[in-house]
Structure 1
Amino acid sequence: MSRPDRFVRVEGVPLHVVVEGAGPAVVLSAGLAMAWFDWDPVAALLAARGRTVIRFDRPGHGLSAPATEPPSTAGEARRIAGLLDALGLGGAPVTVVGHSLAGFHAEAFARLHPERTAALVLVDSSVEEAPRTVLPAALRTGAARALGRAVTAAGLPAALGPALRRGAVRASRAGGGAGGAGDPAARDLVRRCYRTGRVWRGALLENSRYPDMAAELLALRGERPLTAPATVLAGYDGSAGGAALRWLGRQAALADALGARFEVAEPSGHLVMLDRPHQVARAVLHTP
């Protein structure tokens, strides 16, 4: 593991991976349309505290190759396992950390691979108590692919991609909006990733299967117990707004359902790893 930045092939797809540090392994997986560099502050803290930190881009995200098929919850859990195998880390259990949508994948990994899971940390994870699908999955997937091709053909990623990325990050952080926290990512990395249609097509494809992945995880909870210690870390901006308080309530209910420790990161927007990296690192280090 001399080179921190590399590509490994998992189930036929080249994945971009960054491995740093030494010690017990931690896998960091970011939410929809995010990239490996969004974990930079957390990764640095964990590597400094004696952890091997593994960050990777899912297919169609960051610098990874496009997806060859629509994602599934079990499939993404299998991808994490395959990534660990490809890195030669098939032995000691790992702490798996999932942010937002990737919380589905991290929890599925912990349930499907209990012998490989030391701990589970969910960072402002997606929550769907009663997922429903209105349109058939194949129709949603086809529409997402068609939209992705159209957006790319129109040149929108090259023209607007980096600006849209920066706007989304600003809106998802504490104090978002004019004068608030911005996007700390290096401009060259943002351009390299978000000027490509590949990333936007990947995000659209993943988003099209969101309700299916939520339903799959809900079924999995009834079939495979969670045996690893877990922490649910919820972002909270400190406001008394109804939406913010309802979100905290849903995150607390998720923790109760999982038998997990519940913590609140405040002040923080959805991108807790950028707003409260020290708290994310502490949650990882203190679970169990």
Structure 2
Amino acid sequence: MTKIGIIGGSGVYDIDGLENRKWVAVDTPWGAPSDELLTGTLNGVDMVFLPRHGRGHVQTPSTVNYRANIAALKILGVTDVFSVSACGSFRENMAPGDFVIVDQFIDRTFAREKSFFGPGLVAHVSVAHPTCERLMDAAETAAKATGTTVHRGGTYLAMEGPQFSSMAESHMYRAWGCDVIGMTNMPEAKLAREAELCYASIAMITDYDSWHPDHGAVQITDIIATLNGNSANAKQTVANLPAILGTERAPCPCGCDTALEYAIMTAPDKRDGTMVEKLKVIAGRLLG
């Protein structure tokens, strides 16, 4: 059965129209997630909403407990995760107010735990294609139905923050071929893959970062103004997803839900028992 998880970033703090709403506290082996998670149904499909920064926006991009957030979604039975987050644009044709359905990442973060695995239980998953094509299709269809300009595919540069880019950095990232920049999709996408969850990223453009000669430096007031406009379209995009995905769910054609099949490297007789118990939350399919 389909259970949709929505990770809401800046400007997206709730799901409109959710029935049987209940905020649920979830404990994970990696600590507490950013906040309680909102559960309910929308158009007959189970949904879970997690405010990435916590209600009231109390967590910075670096202090978000990404491992706990993904683990909490897994514990609640989520099968398909959609990240909705604000970003800056490196491309003239990707304008503020547009949405980008991200398909690649460059991870420049450095102050975050990036894996559930570690000494005593080692695993290496592939993130060559870090987002799920099936969910990208759903996100694109859902977003276009709102009348928003949607760009299918784009490379997201994940920076540490919380400061915005210098002009030199902005020009460098453009030269690298990046399309948008944000602070939160990494290591989130990597962890979703380790947890065998399908993941898609809907990046809402708020500004042109600091490279654009006609727009100058990023101003938080401009970002907030654009965020407010994006928020309504983002909420409607989310509301459109249940009808697109439906209640019945087949195995992921991209293999996201079997990502760990050959990823665990540590021999069974060498695995740390404490790590095994801890990791059953996300890898119970293989660890028993």
TM-score, with length taken from structure 2: 0.28
The higher relative CO (CA closer than 8 Å, separation ≥ 6) is in 2
Instruction: Specify which structure has the higher proportion of helix.
Output: 1
Instruction: Specify which structure has the higher proportion of strand.
Output: 2
